[in-house]
Chain A
Amino acid sequence: MSKLVLRNLSRRFGSFTAVDAIDLTLQEGEFVSLLGPSGCGKTTTLRMIAGFIPPTGGTIESDGVALSSPDAVTPPERRGMSMIFQSYAIWPNMTVAENVGFGLKLRKLPSEEVHRRTGEILEIVQMGHLAGRYPAELSGGQQQRVALARAIVVKPSVLLLDEPLSNLDANLREEMRFEIRRLHDEFRITTVYVTHDQAEAMVTSDRIAVMNAGKIEQVDAPFALYNRPRTRFVAGFIGRTNFLEARVHGGQLDLGGFALPAGVLNGHTPAAGQSVLLSVRPQSIALAREPGGDALSVPARIVEGAYLGEHWDYLVAPEGAGETKLRVTTLPSQRHQPGEQVWLRFDPDQMVPIA
């Protein structure tokens, strides 16, 4: 059975629709991220799942039991979930151990068990030696670990995280991403993770739900999301891409000045006369100094290049294509001068038609 089901879920604030009829289903033990730009409704969705905000439309179910609907909302304290807040919300008047043990005490567990489980989880997040400290005496990363321990120790049915890493510096953020994934692999808690950082979502998640303006655009595993984006927004938001408008003319895919064989888009060949938008990742296009000798090789000229250490980033203009320019990345060793004649080679597998 599905662990958590959001059905047609909406939330309006006055006349403004912050969350617009979204559907999302999580399986037991699954890790799903809500990814999207600022203000797209991620926090609102998460707080509806937690029960802090009642929906204005749709329902939330867990294990087949309705939790939220516009008429009735189970309060947060009766959902058996836990949550990690953007501000961590570590209680400054309690020690690390007291913070972590709080949820266990609420469950009226015997004090030896509270003590034992608190100790265990603190070891797992590598905070055992700091159990007696007050939060004000901890670094940001350590507070983050306390928040994680406090949320996990109660074995919640669902774990919710709202941009938990946004207050950390870059290095720590990278480390904590893997930490969060490691804890998930260990405990398999069904998790909803809110972030606007795509790398964070890619590292941690089984599936990512990309949100934009209150709607979910696409839900997929990281690999599929990157390689098979279904909407223009998703293709542009996850990684960088080139958009090409294509039209089918007499067996040719007309890309506005240059053409490729229409058959190249395996399985997706549009009907004649139809137009289609293609997303082509910069690293899926190969640059060569010599013509490739087949229909997938297109002459072009280098407009400008930037060296970024891990790769070169070129802007190239296909010949005869007017204003159309493409971004292409190459290995650091492959240098070209502006104005140089090159040949682009497209990989049909990585040209994705999008809605």
Chain B
Amino acid sequence: MLRRLSVIEPATLLWLLLVGALVVLVAWPVAELLVASFTAPRTGAWTLSNYAAAYGRARYVEALFNSLYLGAASAAICAVLAVPMAWACSRTDMPGRGFAWFTVLAAFIIPPYLGAVGWILLAGPNSGWINQAWVWLTGAEESLVNVYTFWGMAIVIALHSYPFIFIFTKSALDLVNSEMEDAANILGAGTWTTTLKITLPLVWPTILAGIILVFLETIALFGTPAIIGIPARINVVTTQLWQFFEHPVRAEVAAAYSMPLLLITAGLIGLQKLMLNRKGYVSQTGKGGERRMIKLGPWRWVLLAWCGFVCLLSVAAPMVALVQASFSRAWGRGFSLDNLTIKNYRYLLFEHDGAALAVVNTFVFSAAAATLAIFIALAIAYVVKRKLLPMGGALAFLCMAPFVIPGIVMAIGFYAAYAGPPLTLYGTAAMMILAFTARFLPIAYANGSAGVQMIHPEMEEAVRILGGGRLTAVKSVVIPLLKKALLGGWLLVFILATRELSAAIFLVGPETRTISVLLYDLSEEGNLEVLSALGGILLVITLVFVGTGMKLIGRDFMLRRGGE
């Protein structure tokens, strides 16, 4: 045998490194979560008492059901908002399709809890703008709308989640060969019959997949339920988990309590996969199939009005309210020159004892997590796609696993694994960075593996036949070709990390607060002007990076299906 004799080959080393990283980021926290849920806090003995404590009170069980109702309600509202928009944008001659697309993008990049703050300003009882206008117009005594209700919360959540269903539906509609519709037309079906009997059934599995995704996002969401639900005394799973972390911290009970969330998520994602793969729905392709836009006639104005309405509710109104409040002495006094001030921003950036640090922390953590996640994901995607190392499938599985673990559950796992001895990472930057990295690993992996897929192995083989090694091939061919994809993935992770709240809130210490955590703290204090100003800062950061991404990579870089 002419095998090179060396104790540890580079490939083995790489393999160990990757396995190590995935164990630290994914396997260990999940294992610790499971173990903690069965462990008595002080003695360390095996016990079921955590489960008894978690489900022993009606209030806790009720929170579970509230979450399910909330998820279902917000998913249903999302479908109503998004499906007509997606259909109009994909299949019809509605004017302003670019505007509709822009609305969806804006709703997608606005951090959800900023929308919640905006809606508190708009629809808070008595003082909210809508209620003030209502009272002024009609002389009524009663408020018209109240955001601090179950439906208020469901609508506010839906107003930032509908882009998921829009993206799913539109990309499916874009793939429907319009000969499918022509075939129904020529057999005697008019536009509406065709749309209802042919087009929508064809994309129905994809719409349902989008609905499931929104449902899961909603039940795992912390920010909006905390900002709106807690004052409204509506308890959901995530806010209940948060209460288990108030003094005295009962992490074991939280671990037990988070199990249904984990199981529901894993189960529904499995179901969603099944549905998207269902044999009967594989769209047939063939030559031909030039797309014909449906002529809507006067209906196109109705649909455009609908898009405008969604834009008003999801983007324009809450953001105008937020920005107005951030520049006001007292937001309730409305637009007037003597109400205009920049003191809220000045206070935050120069006087507040934590805000400047929070901004810096947010940048550092997000950048570090994005870099780590992209690096690990690319390495794994590469060795998996090129089948370089054994057990690539297992690596890929671990990499994608956080996708089925709600961020808040991940955070509890991290807490159980690393907060206490021996590592005692609680309150350190490392803890935050590792948690962010783990949380966004699947997105980075999806990006990286799509990128590697694009590069034909023969391009690298061409380098190697000329005498370059595998590393030279990666350096001279793979990385340059992937530059754009990597940058896009990095920016996406970075942007999502800057707004991350549900994991951060559980792991944060006095020195590691981020903008999102500070925002939540401020919302508890109730100073809406300063809160809005911090929201304004986060919005500017987001816009700058999204703008950069669109400039460098193309306008679709955040809204591609499979990005989330």
Contact = CB atoms under 8 A, between A and B. Distances in A.
B190 A162 contact: no
A93 interface: yes
B187 A87 contact: no
Report the contact-size class of chain A (Cβ under 8 Å from the partner): 35 or more
B277 to A, nearest CB: 11
A52 interface: yes
Contacts of A77: 185-190
B190 A137 contact: no
B95 interface: no
B288 interface: yes
Interface of B: 177, 179-180, 182-190, 193, 197-198, 201-202, 204, 279-289, 292
Interface string A85-113: 11111111100000000110011000000
Contacts of A92: 202, 280-284
A232 to B, nearest CB: 30
A143 interface: yes
16 contacts: A76-B186, A77-B186, A78-B188, A83-B182, A86-B287, A87-B285, A87-B286, A89-B180, A89-B182, A89-B284, A92-B283, A93-B204, A107-B188, A135-B284, A136-B282, A143-B284
A205 interface: no
A226 interface: no
Nearest to A154: B187
A222 B180 CA distance: 33
B292 A52 contact: yes
A83 B282 CA distance: 22
B185 to A, nearest CB: 4
A75 B185 contact: yes
B187 A88 contact: no
Contacts of A86: 179, 286-289
A167 B190 CA distance: 28
A87 B177 contact: yes
B137 to A, nearest CB: 46
Contacts of B188: 77-78, 80, 103, 106-107, 154
Interface in A45-86: 50-52, 75-83, 85-86
Contacts of B287: 86-87, 163, 166-167
Contacts of B283: 92
A167 B284 CA distance: 12
Given A85-B179, A86-B287, A93 B185 contact: no
A83 B186 contact: yes
Nearest to A135: B284
A240 B444 CA distance: 60
A89 B206 CA distance: 19
Contacts of B282: 92, 136
A134 interface: yes
B286 A88 contact: yes
Given A89-B179, A90-B284, A136 B201 contact: no
A143 B180 CA distance: 14
A101 B193 CA distance: 15
Candidate in A52, A143, A154 with the most chain B CB atoms within 10 angstroms:
A52
Given A91-B198, A106-B193, A76 B185 contact: yes
Q: Is the interface of A mostly helix, strand, loop or mixed?
A: loop
Contacts of A76: 182, 185-186
A106 B187 contact: yes
Contacts of B177: 87, 89
A134 B182 contact: no
Nearest to B288: A86
Interface of A: 43, 50-52, 75-83, 85-93, 102-103, 106-107, 134-137, 143, 150, 154, 160, 162-163, 166-167
Given A52-B182, A102-B184, A136-B282, A93 B189 contact: no
Given A85-B288, A106-B188, A162-B288, A93 B281 contact: yes
Contacts of B187: 77, 82, 102-103, 106, 150, 154
A136 B179 contact: no
Given A92-B202, A93-B281, A160-B186, 10 more contacts: A43-B288, A50-B186, A82-B187, A85-B288, A86-B179, A87-B288, A87-B289, A103-B188, A106-B188, A134-B280
A166 B287 CA distance: 9
Contacts of B292: 52
B279 A75 contact: no
A41 to B, nearest CB: 14
Contacts of B284: 87-90, 92, 135-136, 143
Nearest to A167: B286
Nearest to A147: B183
Candidate in A52, A88, A91 with the most chain B CB atoms within 10 angstroms:
A91
A83 B183 contact: yes
A263 B187 CA distance: 57
A78 B288 CA distance: 24
Contacts of A80: 188
A90 B201 CA distance: 13
Which 7 A-B residue pairings sit nearest by Cβ, starting from the closest?
A87-B286, A103-B187, A86-B288, A134-B280, A89-B179, A89-B183, A76-B185
B169 to A, nearest CB: 15
Candidate in B177, B180, B197, B283 with the most chain A CB atoms within 10 angstroms:
B180
A223 to B, nearest CB: 31
Contacts of A106: 187-189, 193
A167 B286 CA distance: 7
Contacts of A107: 188
A126 B186 CA distance: 24
B39 to A, nearest CB: 49
A261 B202 CA distance: 70
Contacts of B197: 102
Contact of A91 (B180, B190, B193, B289): B180
A256 to B, nearest CB: 44
Contacts of B186: 50-51, 76-77, 79, 81-83, 160
Contacts of A143: 284
A154 B180 CA distance: 17
A78 B188 CA distance: 6
Candidate in A92, A106, A136, A154 with the most chain B CB atoms within 10 angstroms:
A92
Given A87-B177, A87-B179, A89-B179, A136 B185 contact: no
